[in-house]
């Protein structure tokens, strides 16, 4: 257990932790607490088995504990635990003589009454936590390991998304997979920050995060407590081109979860106190962004590349615009964007196709059957007006160098070849790291990022370096990136990078959430819902000549803007 506190409260935090531990020894948890803990444990276990990484971690941990079979039956075992069992194990584990305490505090901790020695820690905890360890652990026999192919053993299925048009024009993309009793549901409203008016930066983000804070008079605390008690998680998201809600959970509670999701989608309350809370969070996040040298430089770069454009501000917004947004602004944005013909519903998991379609039709029936709002003309990007370099002076110990080139004009231009170009340049085996870090010791981190969307994108090279080597590192970055346009990649290097890219894409799609996210992005940008196979074929047919041509098209131009953030020189 742990606690974070400030000032003199640190003493009380330590005592409070001890008190909680003693309570667990003395009193069994309530039926509601126990049920919530069981379902959270089950959720964690089930979702861990979605990927090979999670499954191997589970197997390794349970094997190290001497009970490999529990890797397959752990939720069923947890379901049999009683409140008395919890008390028994807490009595065995929680005592002062078996407790290790780590205090991370300011140098003047003694002045705040913080204990500085073990005896003082024991004295502080003694009134709250006893040393009784009388309860012995209950012996249990390990169940047999399920045979391969049994109901408990996960089997890989790779089923496609099927598209269905529901009442009102709502589009459903459904992938039915009964490997595990879990499901992901994503609601995606197209537009995102692109539908914000000038002066309303941050509206999409604020709207989305307040939207999930209550519906039908049920407040945020009660709503999210109920969702958690059903073994589910609800996450709002906002991107430049879309925003929405993701729900992940255990399939057996899907009816109630879809009902709550429908209320948030169709008739959110937008409580005033939640608006103020989320506004303060967004402002704090902007402050944290400016305190981060890399993020601060990236914010300056984006503003320079996209002046007077929806892409020019952080998704969070700007300080001035956030302060001016009202509840009416949020409600109006929701009315315009959360309409049936602007919403994509993506479902992946252990569901029955006909049943989930009916549940979604019923829960989303109150969405207005309106057409999608028209996007503004996003193709005009004025750019930095011939400027080639900006330098920001901050009280920092390293310099951040960002160099940006104009990127693809549409979401689908040169998608495969740019991805492979990045693979060749990035990572510890990539050209940038090998040249700037390993051979020349010019940087801490280096790479090439790309962005694309409804508006023209950009390619951004970055290097984090010592201020003394700032100019040398900046020149080396652009020179190494420029080499991609000047000479073909050797065949062995090319083949290795291509295999890595294909492998990364296949590994990344394992979970239901990853599959749903990829499907949503594909349909948002006009691609088929099962586009990954086509994308992989594109990558496999690329040659070194394709990469050189792509690099020349984007990185061989002189239209590059460099932003440097570092200390005064």
Least confident of 57-71, 219-233, 255-269, 537-551: 57-71
Q: Say what percent of the chain tops pLDDT 90.
A: 72
- Residue 2 scores a pLDDT above 90: no
Listed in sequence order, the residues at least 6 apart from 39 whose beta carbon sits closer than 8 Å to its beta carbon are: 229, 230, 231, 250
- Residue 153 scores a pLDDT above 50: no
CA distance 424 to 438: 16
| Vertex 350: Cα angle to 344 and 352 (nearest 5) | 75
Give 519-561 as a DSSP string: HHHHHHTT--TTTHHHHHHHHHT--HHHHHHHHHHHHSSS--E
- In terms of pLDDT, which residue wins out, 532 or 149? 532
**pLDDT of 122-136, one tens digit each?**
888 788 888 776 654
**Alpha helices (H) along 164-316:** 203-211, 220-229, 254-266, 272-291, 293-305
Q: Cα 222 vs. chain centroid, distance in angstroms?
A: 24
What pLDDT band is residue 121 in, cutting at 50, 70 and 90?
confident
Tokens read off for 446? 């280096």
- Residue 254 scores a pLDDT above 90: yes
Q: What is the pLDDT of residue 139?
A: 44
Are 242 and 188 within 8 A, CB to CB? yes
Q: What is the pLDDT of residue 110?
A: 53
Q: Determine the angle formed by the axes of helices 272-291 and 327-337, rounding to 10 degrees.
A: 90
CA distance 457 to 408: 5
- Residue 3 scores a pLDDT above 90: no
What pLDDT band is residue 426 in, cutting at 50, 70 and 90?
very high
Instruction: Give whole-number Cα distances, 200 to 97, 195, 264, 272, 298, in Å.
Output: 58, 10, 23, 18, 21
For 150-165, give one letter per residue: b (16+ CB within 10 A) or e. eeeeeeeeeeebeebe
Q: What is the pLDDT of residue 93?
A: 86
Least confident of 114-118, 247-251, 480-484: 114-118
CA distance 1 to 418: 46
Closest CA relative to residue 346, chosen from 214, 522, 212, 209? 522
Q: What is the pLDDT of residue 155?
A: 35
Listed in sequence order, the residues at least 6 apart from 433 whose beta carbon sits closer than 8 Å to its beta carbon are: 426, 427, 446, 447
Q: What is the DSSP letter of 438?
A: I
Q: What is the pLDDT of residue 154?
A: 36
Which residue bears the tokens 């962005």? Answer: 451
Q: What is the pLDDT of residue 33?
A: 87
- In terms of pLDDT, which residue wins out, 150 or 268? 268
Q: What is the pLDDT of residue 25?
A: 84
- H or E element that contains 183: strand 182-190
- Please, what are the domains in the chain? 9-125 (3.30.830.10), 162-363 (3.30.830.10), 389-566 (3.30.830.10)
Give the Cβ contact number of residue 327 at 10 Å: 16
Instruction: Give whole-number Cα distances, 8 to 122, 138, 467, in Å.
Output: 18, 41, 40
Q: What is the DSSP letter of 119?
A: H
How confident is the prediction for the chain on average, in pLDDT? 90
Are 208 and 333 within 8 A, CB to CB? no
For 348-359, give one letter per residue: b (16+ CB within 10 A) or e. bbbbeeeebbeb
- Residue 97 scores a pLDDT above 70: yes
- Residue 301 scores a pLDDT above 90: yes
Least confident of 14-28, 155-169, 182-196, 344-358: 155-169
CA distance 403 to 458: 10
**pLDDT of 390-414, one tens digit each?**
999 999 999 999 999 999 999 999 9
Q: What is the pLDDT of residue 137?
A: 43
Give 245-288 as a DSSP string: EEEEEEGGGHHHHHHHHHHHHH-B---HHHHHHHHHHHHHHHHH
Q: Say what percent of the chain tops pLDDT 70.
A: 91
Q: What is the pLDDT of residue 152?
A: 37
Least confident of 116-120, 311-315, 547-551: 116-120
Are 28 and 86 within 8 A, CB to CB? yes
Q: What is the pLDDT of residue 136?
A: 45
**pLDDT of 201-212, one tens digit each?**
999 999 999 999
């Amino acid at each position: 257990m742990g606690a974070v506190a400030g000032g003199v409260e640190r003493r009380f935090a330590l005592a409070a932790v001890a008190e909680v531990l003693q309570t667990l020894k003395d009193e069994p948890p309530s039926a509601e607490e126990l049920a919530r803990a069981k379902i959270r444990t089950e959720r964690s276990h089930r979702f861990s088995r979605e990927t090979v990484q999670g499954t191997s971690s589970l197997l390794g941990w349970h094997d190290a504990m001497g009970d490999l079979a529990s890797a397959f039956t752990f939720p069923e075992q947890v379901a049999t635990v009683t409140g008395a069992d919890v008390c028994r194990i807490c009595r065995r584990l929680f005592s002062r003589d078996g407790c290790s305490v780590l205090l991370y505090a300011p140098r003047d901790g003694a002045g705040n009454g913080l204990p500085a020695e073990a005896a003082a820690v024991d004295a502080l905890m003694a009134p709250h936590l006893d040393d009784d360890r009388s309860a012995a652990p209950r012996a249990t026999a390990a169940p047999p390991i399920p045979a391969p192919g049994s109901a408990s053993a996960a089997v890989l299925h790779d089923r496609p998304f099927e598209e269905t048009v529901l009442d009102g024009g709502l589009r459903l993309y459904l992938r039915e997979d009964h490997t595990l009793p879990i499901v992901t549901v994503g609601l995606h409203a197209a537009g995102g920050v692109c539908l914000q008016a000038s002066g309303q930066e941050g509206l999409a983000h604020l709207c989305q995060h307040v939207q999930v804070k209550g519906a039908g008079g049920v407040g945020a605390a009660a709503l999210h407590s109920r969702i958690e008690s059903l073994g589910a998680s609800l996450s709002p998201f906002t991107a430049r081109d879309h925003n929405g809600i993701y729900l992940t959970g255990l399939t057996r509670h899907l009816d109630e979860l879809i009902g709550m999701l429908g209320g948030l989608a169709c008739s959110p309350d937008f409580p005033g106190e939640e608006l103020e809370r989320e506004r303060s969070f967004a402002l704090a996040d902007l402050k944290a962004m400016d305190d981060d040298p890399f993020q601060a430089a990236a914010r300056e770069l984006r503003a320079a590349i996209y002046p007077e454009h929806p892409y020019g501000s952080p998704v969070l917004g700007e300080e001035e615009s956030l302060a001016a947004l009202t509840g009416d602004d949020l409600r109006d944005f929701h009315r315009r964007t959360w309409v049936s013909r602007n919403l994509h519903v993506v479902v992946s998991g252990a569901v029955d196709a006909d049943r989930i379609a009916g549940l979604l039709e019923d829960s989303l029936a109150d969405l207005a059957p309106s057409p999608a709002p028209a996007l503004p003309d996003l193709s005009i990007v004025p750019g930095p007006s011939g400027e080639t370099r900006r330098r920001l002076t901050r009280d920092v110990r390293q310099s951040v160098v960002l160099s940006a080139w104009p990127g693809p004009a549409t979401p689908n231009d040169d998608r495969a070849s740019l991805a492979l170009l990045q693979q060749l340049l990035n990572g510890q085996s990539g050209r940038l790291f090998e040249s700037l870090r390993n051979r020349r010791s010019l940087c801490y981190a280096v790479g090439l990022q790309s962005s694309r969307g409804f508006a023209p994108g950009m390619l951004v090279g970055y290097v984090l370096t010592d201020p003394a080597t700032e100019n040398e590192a900046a020149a080396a970055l652009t020179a190494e990136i420029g080499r991609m346009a000047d000479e073909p990649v050797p065949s062995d290097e090319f083949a290795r990078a291509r295999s890595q890219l294909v492998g990364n894409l296949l590994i990344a799609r394992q979970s239901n959430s990853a599959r749903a996210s990829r499907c949503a992005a594909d349909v948002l940008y006009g691609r088929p819902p099962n586009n990954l196979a086509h994308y992989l074929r594109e990558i496999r047919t690329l040659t070194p000549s394709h990469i050189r041509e792509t690099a020349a098209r984007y990185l061989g131009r002189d239209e590059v803007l460099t932003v440097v953030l570092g200390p005064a020189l």
